Amino acid sequence: MALLDANTPEFFGANERPDFEKFLDDLPGPYLVLMAGHRIIGCGGYCIEEDSPADCRVARTTWGMVHPDYKGYGLGKLLFLHRRDMIKASGEAHRVRVVTSQYIAPFFTKLEFREIRREKDVFAAGIDLVELWYDF
């Protein structure tokens, strides 16, 4: 929770805290944690969207973040690429879906994701929803 708090309100809305807490209590899929000593400095996971069609299974990233003190070292990219490789190796999905904010979306477009939709002020005032896709 401290990692989420460190990224609020710049990247997450305060209203998202209960959702993250609930998510952590019932993980829908693999969830990775980056540590520096005993301190959590990054995390992120994925799940397979069960309602996606069998011929185009979709994996969705879940709650990825890096502590602000550790940004700029490539940890977010490392964490994401590891998740992408896990999804591909599992053979469970043909596509990765990311739902994020306008502040994080450029990170994913650099990794060859394409933006599908954008909705204003969904997560909080000034924090838009951006949906992006990556196909294997």
In tens, the pLDDT along 60-99 reads 999 999 999 999 999 999 999 999 999 999 999 999 999 9
Query: In the predicted model, what is the mean pLDDT of residues 94-106?
Result: 94
- Which CATH architecture is the domain 2-135 placed in? 3-Layer(aba) Sandwich (3.40)
For the chain, the maximum distance between any two Cα atoms, rounded to a whole number of angstroms, is 43
Q: Tell the residue number behind the tokens 């969830």, with chain if given.
A: 31
**Mean of pLDDT over the chain:** 94
Residue 55 confidence (pLDDT): 81
Question: Residue ranges per domain, the chain?
Answer: 2-135
pLDDT band for position 47 (cuts 50, 70, 90): very high
The rounded radius of gyration (Å) of the Cα atoms in the chain is: 14
52 pLDDT above the threshold of 90: no
pLDDT tens-digit series, residues 116-129: 999 999 988 898 99
The pTM for the full model equals 0.87
DSSP state string for the chain: -HHHHHTTTTTS-GGGHHHHHHHHHS--S-EEEEEETTEEEEEEEEEE-TTS-GGG-EEEEEEEEE-GGGTTSSHHHHHHHHHHHHHHHHT--SEEEEEE-TTTHHHHHTTT-EEEEEEEEEEETTEEEEEEEEE-
Q: How far apart are CA 126 and CA 118, in angstroms?
A: 13
109 pLDDT above the threshold of 90: yes
